[in-house]
Structure 1
């Protein structure tokens, strides 16, 4: 009798030293996930740098966890490099300071396994505030499929704000690799990937909460450089140009 085939969803986390103390909460939220029979998760944690400050916050003896380090290049570079250690059909993003909500991985798998024309899935996210309370986003779309080009159209019409959160992304690994991983930008690299995916593939949105997105003083999006007008304009311009160039090729996946 042949052994059962185990399928895998890879959870990729980029981390730098200031966010490392939140890793135990991210890990606990992974351990609370219930996957369908025949599935497992593999957590690949890639440090953006080579310090001694991250490893102490990771579990010592869980074979489902892989920790790697590399020279600094930002979270997009760290996630893309992590793909070298990510053997699985799907890749899920989990930032080091965030937490998955119960059932998030199972819902992502249900969407992607249930419809081969869906290339990526997102879900409702709640801001996790410093006092422990949560706050929602006002523009969540309806539960269900997102047609190609919808995210770009909304993002363009609403001050460069997508109606789905890129930190909730789960994507087919082959499609992610075909697009080159995350964009080579100092920030908004996850938005750039989301819009690229939207240009070539249908997506999915789950209205059930899938992520608690932590708001704290050390997060990259809270730094002054992130909202510098000149840099932000340049980032948005290249994100939009890439998405439109992909759409013009009329290639689509999966």
Structure 2
């Protein structure tokens, strides 16, 4: 029913975390697959639990292409009705797939998301409630909860389980960072969905995470401005609005 798409360079300091991500998938109670885009990495480095799991498939890219490109190319190999993005150093909660899949199947909306937890090295977690409030949201509404590019993004991209056709219509943006902001805004602009007030994803906080890397802040505001403007423009087009003045006839 669900494919989890992950991009990874199989860096040594991330292999144990990738194994933990896989372990969190094995605890899910609904059928799933995973497609791991190996971004210039050799499949020989894939941890044994993943290499031995028939539900895990790999896409080997001949050279590093960046997370956005790797994830988008992995979409070519998705063969299930629903798709979820994930990072190679994070984890899903045990009921993450079932609670969102049940909501999608029972309501017919295009996407279902939840809250996330920051996961610290000592094993503790803190809950992050995204600015978008729980409940049902019409197409394009999620962007309205992102008041300014400098503010916190309105919804967690990796907390979204969505119809695969929607994900293909609104894949990762062509950015070196913040590409997932575009993906989240695109999917939520194209279809109505539901945000559940439960944590479904654990975002690992450690010194190897992307947001902790040297130089990350140099492009972050520009990436946010691009994603914010993308969401604004996409919403306006779909709602028949004219950002320069009057509404379209």
TM-score by length of 1: 0.85
Q: Please state if 1:13 is matched with 2:6.
A: yes
Please name the residue that 2:243 is paired with.
none
- The answer on 1:201 being equivalent to 2:217 is no
- Runs of 5+ in structure 2 lacking a partner? 241-249
Residue 239 of structure 1 is aligned with which of 222, 227, 236?
A: 227
Cα displacement (A) at 1:57: 4.9
Give the counterpart of 1:86 among 71, 74, 78. 78
Residues 159 and 24 (structure 1 numbering): CA distance in 2 closer, same or farther, change over 3 Å? Answer: same
Residues 42 and 64 in structure 1, CA contact (< 8 A), matched pair in contact too: yes
Give 2:178's aligned residue: 188
Counterpart position of 1:27: 22
- 1:117-152 CA-partner distances (Å, limit 9, x unpaired): x22221111100111111122545543212333322
CA distance in 2, matches of 1:80, 1:10: 13
User: How many aligned positions are there?
Assistant: 237
Q: Which residue of 2 aligns with 1:169?
A: 160
CA distance in 1, matches of 2:132, 2:238: 25
SS in 2 for 1:78: helix
Per-residue deviation, 1:216: 0.9
Gaps of 5+ in 1: 1-7
Q: Show the 5 A alignment for 1:16-165.
A: 16-18=9-11, 19-35=14-30, 40-51=31-42, 54-70=45-61, 71-116=63-108, 118-139=109-130, 141-157=132-148, 159-165=150-156
Report if the CA contact (8 A) 2:43-2:58 is conserved: no
Distance 1:251 1:110, change over 3 A: farther
- Aligned CA distance change for structure 1 residues 188 and 54 (closer, same or farther; 3 Å): farther
Inter-partner Cα distance in structure 2 for 1:158 and 1:81: 28
Give the aligned partner of residue 245 of structure 2.
Answer: none
Q: What residue number does 2:210 align with?
A: 220
Deviation at 1:237, TM superposition (A): 2.5
Q: Give the Cα–Cα distance (whole angstroms) in 1 for the partners of residues 215 and 144 of structure 2.
A: 26
Please state how far the C-alpha of 1:58 moved relative to its aligned partner.
4.4
- TM-score, with structure 2 as normaliser: 0.86
Give the drift of 1:184.
Answer: 0.6
Classify 1:185/1:57 alpha carbon distance in 2 versus 1 (closer, same or farther; 3 Å). Answer: farther
- Structure 2 Cα separation of the partners of residues 79 and 151 of structure 1: 23
Question: What are the Cα deviations for residues 138-192 of structure 1, in whole angstroms up to 9, with x where unaligned?
Answer: 545543212333322222247331242112121111111122x100101011111
Partner of 2:80, secondary structure, is coil
